[in-house]
Structure 1
Amino acid sequence: MPPIENDAGREQIRSKIEELIDSHQVLVFSKSFCPYCVKVKELFKELNVKCNAVELDLMEDGTNYQDLLHEMTGQKTVPNVFISKKHIGGCDNTMKAHKDGDLQKLLGEGSKAYDYDLIVIGGGSGGLACSKEAAALGKKVMVLDYVVPTPKGTTWGLGGTCVNVGCIPKKLMHQTALLGTAMEDARKFGWEFSDQVTHNWETMRTAVNNYIGSLNWGYRVSLRDKNVNYVNAYAEFVEPHKIKATNKRGKEMFYTAAKFVLATGERPRYLGIPGDKEYCITSDDLFSLPYCPGKTLVVGASYVALECGGFLAGLGLDVTVMVRSILLRGFDQDMANRAGDCMETHGVKFLRKFVPTKVGALTAKSTESDEIFEGEYNTVLIAVGRDACTGKIGLDKAGVKVNAKNGKIPVNDEEQTSVPHIYAIGDILEGKWELTPVAIQAGKLLARRLFAGASLKCDYVNVPTTVFTPMEYGSCGYPEEKAVEIYGQQNLEIYHSLFWPLEFTVAGRDNNRCYAKIICNKLDNERVIGFHYLGPNAGEVTQGFGAAMKCGITKDQLDNTIGIHPTCAEIFTAMEVTKSSGGDITQSGC
């Protein structure tokens, strides 16, 4: 295309450009083949905002338009975006304005204003953390939370799985079992009591649920104090920026938001066999069960299965755990099997390589032969995994991509879904830890990135966690299998040791059953990439070492750390035997 030959031609094009800018709220000078232009035009389509595109490559004098736009704006490339007569810039600037919330302000009255800056769907730990952080940053925030009753009719208040049917009641009931063991130990330490010691399920259940009720109320007060609008209703997308909220009476309300955070969590999976929902309970029911479960079969080998089976046995109940394949899938298998062995020592029976086929009169079949197992139990507790609560919230209407096999949502490293203004955190993320503190951390950091210009992202690798089995198992970093897969066996040095906690010695139990292991990367100064501990107070021990791993601790630094004597954790400052050496790891004294 020939260049503009005179001033009159130049002014004529300038006038046309200015007229276009003045007469359209959103104007994009574009090229039809440009992927960045397509991205910007798709954004406005998603926002339901009319976008007027001038395709310069389809115009006879498009090159002259682009040259003059360069003079007028200082921008040589396309897309060249104007909103309400203001020059925004190219693709990156437009996307940033959208992410920062500035785009909606620029659109002003010409487009539909949203009811909220942020709507969080899900009132669990992650959703609450994100919503409160966003509100503290001055944003208008709504939280929607609704608990669909279990097949047994169990429901609960604000706070999600952790507070109501997870970490909190689980740890309190685990503590109940530990107290029972402590009473057994007490006689060896000189305590004398002749009356028979029994446990009252109703007293424990009432105390635990009263505490949970106080937490539910505290969360509601906290949201109110932070100016977060909490609505007890089931949320479902009807448009990319619009949700329908249905309360327990069936009343429907509609709300819009510039951004959304999905934090819907998971619920226990059922077996899909005759009688499972009629006769079985899950962890959603167990902690508020109005009667003692009695002789119990736990189906599954997840951490939920082993924790629940462990504390029920610790209360003196007859407990059997039915395992299809391996214990604690995804965890270090050496540690998982040691934790299982300790459970058997403490009275839990295992029925391995079996799966139930019918419940009522319980029937199960072997996974390796034609053998059939039949048994009678007062309670059957299913703990075979959890399903993401994403299938009935209208994600298809919002355009959010979901893994059809497991309902999990793929996100990028900023928790952003396939739809730019919709984010997800917590247990529903694909390939991420299903842990409360991870969801809380991710929620807070996400709110700060969205509304405070922060850049810090959640670390999903160095995550300390603990399984509260009768002998607790704490870990941080990689399981041994994963470390070998990533770094190669030849590049690892694994140090390990058995130990006998001093408090167990007088009681005469669990001699050399506790175990410690660290996995070190020989290619990086023997940096610790995996930490594993089986012993008492595993959560308290692992928390500190989790901080050390975030700081990049090495084996040499552990060796040069003075231990606290006599403790269990000091074992990590004095580990000399490597797995590869095959040396003796039993401990004989202090």
Structure 2
Amino acid sequence: MPPPGQTQLPDWDGLKLRVRTLISSHRVMIFSKSYCPYCNKVKELFRSMHVEYYALELDVTADGPSIQQVLAELTNQRTVPNVFVNGTHIGGCDSTYQAYHDGSLQKLLGDSQDAEPYDYDLIIIGGGSGGLACSKEAAALGKKVMVLDYVVPTPLGTSWGLGGTCVNVGCIPKKLMHQAALLGQALQDSRKYGWQYEQQVKHNWQIMVEAIQNYIGSLNWGYRVSLREKSVTYLNSYGEFIEPHKIKATNRKGQVSYHTAETFVLATGERPRYLGIPGDKEYCITSDDLFSLPYCPGKTLVVGASYVALECAGFLAGLGLDVTVMVRSILLRGFDQEMAEKVGAYMETHGVKFIRKFVPVILSLQIFIQVEQLEEGMPGRLKVTAKSTEGPEIFEEEYNTV
């Protein structure tokens, strides 16, 4: 014991030996403090890599301050975390993450244990506009890239190829069907400009859909060719994460493959939501089905008043169909309401009917809207029952398509 009033000096040589022994004895050595968020962040990084580490918490170790001073002399770093990998000083939190992102950390870890390289630098799950653009840019920068794109079929069995919503069931087919409707209107107007034709002009839904699907198919193929030209691997498979850097890919035949990557991008987009009422998935369709529907939908009820709903209602009416839109509250929520009402008024003058303040709801376990099949066919005959949002009024009507 030192004399009273004097402090025992640390055994500096012993502490240095202890620190060096800790560094050399552990694949990953972290000098840490239990309350430090940056220390916890570094530990989480190694856990995500499935790499074991040893952490000495300096704030709960009796000679922690002295060890930190020894580390400062050895590394010229006074802060924590202070990280060593296979005897090599990495540094603090930022330095460790930088080493991880540039790959040097993985190389250091491979000195004592062979680390398998990732199959790809980047795997993108989703082959729509965002996923394809991302994949091509990454490939142009020299990265090894894979794109997974898989469309879960609708209840009707509809699925599609590479390109995402816009190409397959969104902007492209919508504009083409809208153009078909405009051509029909132009024919009607042409009589006023001197055009004469005796036969009644009819629209053939099947011919239109076949032409649209052929065009979309050419776009799908073009995207695949573009990916191949840029050396991007494409899989028509459903991707699922099974480890932090590993996915399982399942194709339509149920065949499974596994792939790893340093980085992943999720670009899966969204799908239409069903109503959650009896008969919705059995008898109703969504915009995912409409553009490849093999038969004319006939008398149609569109449930909802988003821009997608109104666009579909507009071109269906333009093709000469009996179209009704069921609106819960307002048209085009989120848009300028003065303009939204002008859109609604314009559509009404062009033959679209609106049922306002009706909504599919379930109240006290009693079903107030449902869809029943009255007659099978293509299209069939459906009975729709709905309840007003403002009172007890019940609405019932028959349609061919909902």
Change beyond 3 A, Cα 1:245–1:126: same
Could you tell me how far 1:41 is from its partner in structure 2? 0.7
* Counterpart in the other structure of 2:376: none
Contact 1:296 1:320 in 2 (8 A): yes
Work out whether 1:212 is the aligned partner of 2:234. Answer: no
* Counterpart in the other structure of 1:477: none
In the alignment, which of 275, 279, 297 is matched to residue 283 of structure 2? 279
Contact 1:4 1:64 in 2 (8 A): no
Change beyond 3 A, Cα 1:92–1:3: farther
The C-alpha deviation readout for 1:273-304, integer Å capped at 9, x for no partner, is 12111111111111001111111111111111
Work out whether 1:367 is the aligned partner of 2:378. Answer: no
Structure 1 letter corresponding to 2:82: N
Contact 1:238 1:244 in 2 (8 A): yes
Secondary structure of the 2:248 match is strand
* Counterpart in the other structure of 2:370: 358
* Counterpart in the other structure of 1:528: none
* Counterpart in the other structure of 1:120: 124
Task: Kindly report which structure 2 residues correspond to 1:138-157, keeping only aligned pairs within 5 A, or say none.
Answer: 138-157=142-161
The C-alpha deviation readout for 1:460-498, integer Å capped at 9, x for no partner, is xxxxxxxxxxxxxxxxxxxxxxxxxxxxxxxxxxxxxxx
Work out whether 1:37 is the aligned partner of 2:49. Answer: no
Work out whether 1:130 is the aligned partner of 2:134. Answer: yes
* Counterpart in the other structure of 1:161: 165
Could you tell me how far 1:306 is from its partner in structure 2? 0.5
The C-alpha deviation readout for 1:517-552, integer Å capped at 9, x for no partner, is xxxxxxxxxxxxxxxxxxxxxxxxxxxxxxxxxxxx
Structure 2 letter corresponding to 1:25: R
In the alignment, which of 348, 351, 365 is matched to residue 344 of structure 1? 348
Work out whether 1:237 is the aligned partner of 2:241. Answer: yes
In the alignment, which of 316, 319, 324 is matched to residue 320 of structure 2? 316
Task: Kindly report which structure 2 residues correspond to 1:565-584, keeping only aligned pairs within 5 A, or say none.
Answer: none
Secondary structure of the 1:33 match is coil
Secondary structure of the 1:133 match is helix
Could you tell me how far 1:84 is from its partner in structure 2? 3.6
In the alignment, which of 40, 45, 49 is matched to residue 51 of structure 2? 49
Could you tell me how far 1:106 is from its partner in structure 2? 4.1
Could you tell me how far 1:129 is from its partner in structure 2? 1.7
Once residues 105 and 345 of structure 1 are traced to their aligned partners in structure 2, the CA distance between those partners, rounded to angstroms, is 70
* Counterpart in the other structure of 1:488: none
Change beyond 3 A, Cα 1:50–1:375: same
* Counterpart in the other structure of 1:26: 28
Once residues 195 and 17 of structure 2 are traced to their aligned partners in structure 1, the CA distance between those partners, rounded to angstroms, is 96
The C-alpha deviation readout for 1:433-469, integer Å capped at 9, x for no partner, is xxxxxxxxxxxxxxxxxxxxxxxxxxxxxxxxxxxxx
* Counterpart in the other structure of 2:298: 294
Change beyond 3 A, Cα 1:99–1:306: farther
Secondary structure of the 2:334 match is coil
Structure 1 letter corresponding to 2:139: A
Task: Kindly report which structure 2 residues correspond to 1:153-552, keeping only aligned pairs within 5 A, or say none.
Answer: 153-356=157-360, 357-360=369-372, 361-380=383-402
Secondary structure of the 1:267 match is coil
Could you tell me how far 1:10 is from its partner in structure 2? 4.0
Secondary structure of the 1:67 match is helix
Structure 2 letter corresponding to 1:376: E
| Greater Cα offset, 101-110 or 203-212 | 101-110
Once residues 95 and 218 of structure 1 are traced to their aligned partners in structure 2, the CA distance between those partners, rounded to angstroms, is 39
For structure 2, the 5+ residue unaligned runs are 1-6, 361-368, 373-382
Contact 1:3 1:64 in 2 (8 A): no
Once residues 320 and 143 of structure 1 are traced to their aligned partners in structure 2, the CA distance between those partners, rounded to angstroms, is 40
Secondary structure of the 2:271 match is strand
Could you tell me how far 1:25 is from its partner in structure 2? 2.9
TM-score of the pair, normalised by structure 1: 0.60
Could you tell me how far 1:152 is from its partner in structure 2? 0.8
Secondary structure of the 1:143 match is strand
Once residues 339 and 161 of structure 1 are traced to their aligned partners in structure 2, the CA distance between those partners, rounded to angstroms, is 24
Structure 1 letter corresponding to 2:276: G
Q: Larger Rg: 1 or 2?
A: 2
Structure 2 letter corresponding to 1:228: V
Could you tell me how far 1:128 is from its partner in structure 2? 1.8
Contact 1:101 1:258 in 2 (8 A): no
Secondary structure of the 1:362 match is strand
Could you tell me how far 1:102 is from its partner in structure 2? 4.7
Secondary structure of the 1:268 match is coil
For structure 1, the 5+ residue unaligned runs are 381-590
Q: Tell me the number of residue pairs that the alignment of Structure 1 and Structure 2 aligns.
A: 377
TM-score of the pair, normalised by structure 2: 0.87
Could you tell me how far 1:85 is from its partner in structure 2? 3.3
Once residues 91 and 8 of structure 2 are traced to their aligned partners in structure 1, the CA distance between those partners, rounded to angstroms, is 24
* Counterpart in the other structure of 2:76: 74
In the alignment, which of 72, 82, 90 is matched to residue 88 of structure 1? 90
The share of aligned pairs that are identical, in percent, is 71
Secondary structure of the 1:270 match is coil
Once residues 141 and 85 of structure 2 are traced to their aligned partners in structure 1, the CA distance between those partners, rounded to angstroms, is 26
Change beyond 3 A, Cα 1:62–1:350: same
The C-alpha deviation readout for 1:107-131, integer Å capped at 9, x for no partner, is 3363454332222222222122222
Contact 1:121 1:235 in 2 (8 A): yes
Change beyond 3 A, Cα 1:59–1:292: same
Once residues 115 and 193 of structure 1 are traced to their aligned partners in structure 2, the CA distance between those partners, rounded to angstroms, is 64
Structure 2 letter corresponding to 1:224: R
* Counterpart in the other structure of 1:391: none
Secondary structure of the 1:119 match is strand
Secondary structure of the 1:205 match is helix
* Counterpart in the other structure of 1:424: none
Contact 1:355 1:366 in 2 (8 A): yes
In the alignment, which of 109, 120, 131 is matched to residue 107 of structure 1? 109
Change beyond 3 A, Cα 1:331–1:125: same
Contact 1:242 1:256 in 2 (8 A): yes
* Counterpart in the other structure of 2:364: none
* Counterpart in the other structure of 2:365: none
Once residues 396 and 359 of structure 2 are traced to their aligned partners in structure 1, the CA distance between those partners, rounded to angstroms, is 11
Once residues 347 and 157 of structure 1 are traced to their aligned partners in structure 2, the CA distance between those partners, rounded to angstroms, is 34
Could you tell me how far 1:19 is from its partner in structure 2? 3.6
Change beyond 3 A, Cα 1:97–1:344: farther
Once residues 167 and 184 of structure 1 are traced to their aligned partners in structure 2, the CA distance between those partners, rounded to angstroms, is 26
Once residues 83 and 136 of structure 2 are traced to their aligned partners in structure 1, the CA distance between those partners, rounded to angstroms, is 34
Could you tell me how far 1:48 is from its partner in structure 2? 1.3
Once residues 104 and 145 of structure 1 are traced to their aligned partners in structure 2, the CA distance between those partners, rounded to angstroms, is 29
